[in-house]
Amino acid sequence: MSDQEVSGQEVSDIEAQEARLVLPRFTYEDAWTLGTLLVEMARERRAPVAIDIRRGPQQLFHCALPGSSADNDAWIDRKRRVVERYGVSSFLVGARFRAKGTTFEASSRLDPDRYAAHGGAFPVAVEGVGVIGSVTVSGLPQAEDHAMVVEALDRLLASLSG
């Protein structure tokens, strides 16, 4: 299935990921743990990515790995703004538009130079609080950026819950 073809099931699957990946807390130390975990994962996979973690407007972690460029930082900003505006992952926002037979760029009425509903930015949500920030990966195809963030959040959640 191409990026242009999205089923309702895929949208439901992404929504289920977001419902599951709610953290009990998110401290500065947790941001560091998540960021270094993403760096380790990217290095193991030789992934040319940039990684960004924010709590509100404050950047808590940023790393650019070999093969990434300033373009990845621009993509991070555009994808992060989608999370901040919609409160869900950038991948989910794009998938919802595609499931309706359109695109984010054609139908959102938002400036595509400032917003990108492509996979890789995920909300950092805390139990009893809601979305407090974002974690973003840029440099791989959008589904892979998204999957890397989900895998890292799954690992962080397991460590915080265990």
Q: Is residue 32, in this structure, part of any structural domain at all?
A: yes
Per the structure block, which two tokens stand in for 85? 């505006």
Q: What is the pLDDT of residue 7?
A: 67
Q: Is residue 31, in this structure, part of any structural domain at all?
A: yes
Q: Are strands 121-126 and 22-23 parallel, antiparallel or unpaired?
A: parallel
Give Cβ neighbours of residue 36 (< 8 Å, ≥ 6 apart).
Answer: none
* Blockwise average pLDDT, block size 10, the chain, 162 residues: 60 96 98 98 98 97 98 98 98 94 94 97 98 98 97 97 80
With helix as H, strand as E and coil as C, how does 14-56 read?
A: HHHHHHHCEECCCCHHHHHHHHHHHHHHHHHHCCCCEEEEEEC
Parent domain of 60: 8-160
Q: What is the pLDDT of residue 8?
A: 76
Query: Contact at 8 Å (CB) between 67 and 57?
Result: no
Q: Is residue 29, in this structure, part of any structural domain at all?
A: yes
Q: Is residue 1, in this structure, part of any structural domain at all?
A: no
Return the closest-CA partner of residue 73 out of 56, 88, 91, 54: 54
Calpha distance 61→110 (Å, rounded): 27
Q: What is the pLDDT of residue 134?
A: 98
Q: Is residue 3, in this structure, part of any structural domain at all?
A: no
Q: What is the pLDDT of residue 125?
A: 98
Calpha distance 133→83 (Å, rounded): 8
Q: What is the pLDDT of residue 1?
A: 39
CATH assignment at residue 124: 3.30.450.150
Count of domains in the chain? 1
- Please tell me the pTM assigned to this model: 0.94
